[in-house]
Amino acid sequence: MADARETNAVKALQATANPSPLGLFGLAIVTLVASTQKLGITEGTVNIIPWAIFLGAAAQLLAGFMDYRLNNTFGATAFSGYGFFWLGVAMTWMMGNGIIAMNPAAVVDTSQLAFAFLGYLIFTLYMTLGAMGTSKVLFVIFFLIDILFLGLFVSTLGVGGVFWKYLAGCAEMGIAIFSFYGSAANLLNTHYGKTVLPAGKAFGPWAMK
């Protein structure tokens, strides 16, 4: 009976598709749209909210839950962690735009949001170390996310003028570009069963030989 259960579990894992193309696509779309506001190309955040919820959050959460089934702890933690981040950001924008009503007497302290960005910077720093063991493209994406959260943290505190917000926008646009490439590489390489778009081999002192 136990052997049958183990066999069924193996078959279930084999039947689970690679979720990375979807997760990276979601990340690419939401960062592409959000970066335009930081760079001054577009204004406001109202029209970013749907992309934050459905691509930044839902697509990455789905990819993360699928990675849990594949026993991919790194991918599951990354996609799920950033998926929940975009849910939090979307709710913040909804409050700021009056979509979710706030108590007029409520004390609004934006530095609380800054410390949320700091927490995600810490999270991304150790995830960047993990990305070294996956591929060079993914490492570049996480490195740019480090810069994004550093810029968001400093700019939200109101320090350093517009430089840090612009730096965050440039990093976010870079995340979108490399995430599109990573999504395409994962999709095409999985689909054809060979390397169509190289993603770069794992590197670093802990990379598996």
Average pLDDT of the chain?
92
Place 8 in a pLDDT band, splitting at 50, 70 and 90.
Answer: low
125 with 86: CB under 8 angstroms? no
**CA angle, residues 8, 11, 13, in degrees to nearest 5:** 110
pLDDT digits (tens, 9 = 90+) for 22-81: 999 999 999 999 999 999 999 999 999 999 999 999 999 999 999 999 999 999 999 999
Tell me the H-state helices in 97-209. 111-131, 136-156, 163-192
104 band by pLDDT with thresholds 50, 70 and 90? confident
Residue ranges of domains in the chain: 19-99+109-192
The per-residue pLDDT for 161 is 85
- pTM score, two decimals? 0.91
Q: Looking at the domain that runs over 19-99+109-192, which CATH code has it been given?
A: 1.25.40
